[in-house]
Structures are given as structure tokens and as C-alpha cells.
């Protein structure tokens, strides 16, 4: 079953405008959420994370919002730049009793920022 879903396969945004990427999850055990950015033929690069005890985390142009009741999170990029064009993955995890927190990923959203 798909526990983390990114329902928009792609998004196109004009340079300077806001990009909003969405993610939904089903597993109530998840307590840590991350966004990664990926270019072709490279590994995912960490962008920003949020713990379930918070509803917002901000880092420069990137802000992540978490709505636990709706099991929904979103990534806002303001302002969007052409270099932001990539695939964005939402991931979720929880810490096991034996340690470790395997990540469960969504299928990704392709962001294209047009100049």
C-alpha cells in the first residue's frame, strides 16, 4: 500500500512566484517528515524536515507545513528560481524500538520553474 502519496506528478511555475508541493500520508505512526530534491542521475539531496510536534519549519526560501489532523504536508518555495527545477520527494518515518528510521517515499513531483 502507498503510505505516502504525492498526487501531482508535475508542476510548472513562473520564476519569482511561489511553488507549492503537496504530500499526503496514511500511517499515523509517522512522526518525522522530510523533503528531498533530486536531479537526474544523482542521489536525493536533503532540503528540509519537520517533526510531528511542529506545524511549520522554515529555512530560507523553503517552508514546510504539517497538518497532522489532515495527514498532509506541503513544501513552499518562495521565490521560485530556475535552479529549483528538479524532482521533489516527500518522505516520512518513525523511530523503531531497535533504532533506525527507514524512510517511506512518495513517487515524486517534477517541478519546472520557467524563466
Partner 1 sequence: DTGVSQDPRHKITKRGQNVTFRCDPISEHNRLYWYRQTLGQGPEFLTYFQNEAQLEKSRLLSDRFSAERPKGSFSTLEIQRTEQGDSAMYLCASSLGVGQETQYFGPGTRLLVL
Which residues here bind partner 1, judged by CB under 8 A? 4, 31-32, 34, 36, 41-46, 49, 51, 89, 91, 93, 95-96, 98-108
Task: Report the C-alpha gap between 67 and 73 in whole angstroms.
Answer: 6
CB of 42 or CB of 69, closer to partner 1: 42
Q: What cell numbers appear for 22 in the block?
A: 503537496
State in angstroms the smallest separation of the CB of 103 from partner 1.
Answer: 6
Tell me which residue has cell 532540503: 47
* Helix/strand/coil (H/E/C) assignment for every residue in 20-85: EEEEEECCCCCCEEEEEEECCCCCCEEEEEEECCCCEEEECCEEEEEECCCCEEEEEECCCCHHHC
CB of 15 or CB of 71, closer to partner 1: 71
State in angstroms the smallest separation of the CB of 71 from partner 1.
Answer: 17
State in angstroms the smallest separation of the CB of 84 from partner 1.
Answer: 18
CB of 44 or CB of 86, closer to partner 1: 44
Amino acid at each position: 500500500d502507498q503510505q505516502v502519496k504525492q498526487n501531482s506528478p508535475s508542476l510548472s511555475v513562473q520564476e519569482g512566484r511561489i511553488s507549492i508541493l503537496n504530500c499526503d500520508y496514511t500511517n499515523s505512526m509517522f512522526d518525522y517528515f522530510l523533503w528531498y530534491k533530486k536531479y537526474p542521475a544523482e542521489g536525493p539531496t536533503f532540503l528540509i524536515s519537520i517533526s510531528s510536534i511542529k506545524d511549520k519549519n522554515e529555512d530560507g526560501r523553503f517552508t514546510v507545513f504539517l497538518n497532522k489532523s489532515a495527514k498532509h504536508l506541503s513544501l513552499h518555495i518562495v521565490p521560485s528560481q530556475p535552479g529549483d527545477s528538479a524532482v521533489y520527494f516527500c518522505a516520512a518515518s518513525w523511530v523503531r524500538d531497535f533504532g533506525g528510521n527507514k524512510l517511506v517515499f512518495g513517487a515524486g513531483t517534477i517541478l519546472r520553474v520557467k524563466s
